[in-house]
Amino acid sequence: MEYKAASSFSSEILSDLFNDAFSNYIHGPVHVTPAIMEKFQVREGIDPDLSRIFVQNGTPIGFGYIAVRGSACRLAGMGVITSKAEKGVGTSAMVHLIQEARERGSTSMELEAFKQNSRAIRLYSRAGFVVLRHLVGWDGESPASTGGVDGPSLDAGLETISIAEVAAVLTQHGSPDLPWQLTGPTIVHREAPDVAYRLGDAYVVISDPTAEVIKVHSFIVTRESRRRGQATKLVEAVFARHPEKKWTLLPIFPEDYGVELAVKSGFKKQDLVQVQMRLDLATLGEA
């Protein structure tokens, strides 16, 4: 099997490969267009020159997308086409990706995988990855608009700001071990129609607010203002700005991250759970 740079393949080939590999995905078939594939690579900080397409007899049969920050790297997506599944391709590819990471000087590799995807968990565990924590998602609805008749609206003071501003706050005030998808360097790649809001020292980035279902991409309160009710006020303000909407937080949030606020806001935890896993490349293979 050969391993070629993803940058040497067209977006059409990469999207077709992605769709085939995830045609039986745990939460349903995946369908990405070439344009979505290009945005995916930018949003996830993927390096197409370091990412690999697995090629067998001249035919692409799988992929491993790599993102790098300093001495750390992330396996941002890995898959094998259905006709080659469970034939040892994933195991061989994982060994190759890890070896390349060590050779370029990376000291750790991270990834996320659905806990319910036992086959993937076994693959990563055999390669030496250990579970750091569980990542959960939430679903909820915003109530009908209230306030503003006898007093100020709940969204008074809610500012629309740049996503870059939230990314900077995340970098300064976010936990250093946040999952990659919640960090400033990832969030900064979000673009319109996504929107960022600020209320006091609380910040949030959401997907297109005109859609029926709105995704919460990131949420943070500066360190000095935590435990003062600012997060609650921000949620109330955003709900008032966008009433009677369905909301979802994908399972990329640490299970202890904002759980009190989620429950207080009437959100329900999703059934699907991810695990954040890490491989220490610096000590890999040491006695």
pLDDT tens string, the chain, 287 residues long: the values are: 999 999 999 999 999 999 999 998 887 889 999 999 999 999 999 999 999 999 999 999 999 999 999 999 999 999 999 999 878 999 999 999 999 999 999 999 999 999 999 999 999 999 999 999 999 999 999 998 655 555 568 899 999 999 999 999 999 999 988 999 999 999 999 999 999 999 999 999 999 999 999 999 999 999 999 999 999 999 999 999 999 999 999 999 999 998 999 999 999 999 999 999 999 998 876 54
Which domains, from first to last, does the chain contain? 2-106 (3.40.630.30), 136-269 (3.40.630)
Burial class (CB in 10 A: 0-12, 13-18, 19+), 30: middle
Q: Nearest Cα to 242, choosing from 277, 204, 282?
A: 204
Tokens describing residue 28: 């349903």
Residue with tokens 């993102």: 67
Which pLDDT does position 147 carry in this prediction? Answer: 53
Asked if 148 and 185 touch (Cβ cutoff 8 Å), the reply is: no
pTM, whole model, 2 decimals? 0.92
Element spanning 213, H or E: strand 213-221
